[in-house]
Structure 1
Amino acid sequence: MQQLRNIQVKTGAKFAGNTQDIEVPVSFGNDVAGLQASQEEIVVCDRSHWGRIQVSDEERLRFLHNQSTNDFQQLKPGQGCDTVFITSTARTIDLVTAYVTEEAVLLLVSPNRRKFLMEWLDRYIFFADKVQLKDITDETAAFSLIGPKSDAVLEQLGASAIINQPYAHHTLVNIGSEVRVTVGSGLALPGYTLIVPVAAAANVWNSIVQAGVKPIGDRVWEQLRILQGRPTPEKELTEDYNPLEAGLWHSISFDKGCYIGQETIARLNTYKGVKQHLWGIRLDSQVEPGGVITVGDEKVGRLTSCTATEQGYFGLGYIRNKAGGIGLRVEIGDTRGEIVDVPFLTHEYYQGE
Structure 2
Amino acid sequence: MKGNNLRIKDIGEFALIERLVEVLGPAGRGAGQGVIRGIGDDAAVLQNNPGTRLLASCDMLVEGIHFDLSYFTPRQLGWKALVANLSDIAAMGGRPRWALVSLGLKPEMKVSFVEEIYAGIAELAGKFGVTIVGGDTCSSPERLVIDICILGEAYRAEVAYRSGAHEGDLILVTGKLGAAAAGLAYLREGGKAAIDGAEELRQAHLKPVPRVKEAAILIHSGMVGAMNDISDGLASELHEIVQASGCGARIWTERLPISQATALMAAHTGVNPLDWALYGGEDYELLLTISGEKGSPLKARKLGRTLAKATGTPLNFIGRILPLSGTVEMVRPDGEIEPLLPEGYNHFKE
Specify which structure has the bigger relative contact order, considering alpha-carbon pairs within 8 angstroms and separated by 6 or more residues: 2
TM-score normalised by length of structure 1:
0.26
The structure with the greater share of residues assigned to helix is: 2
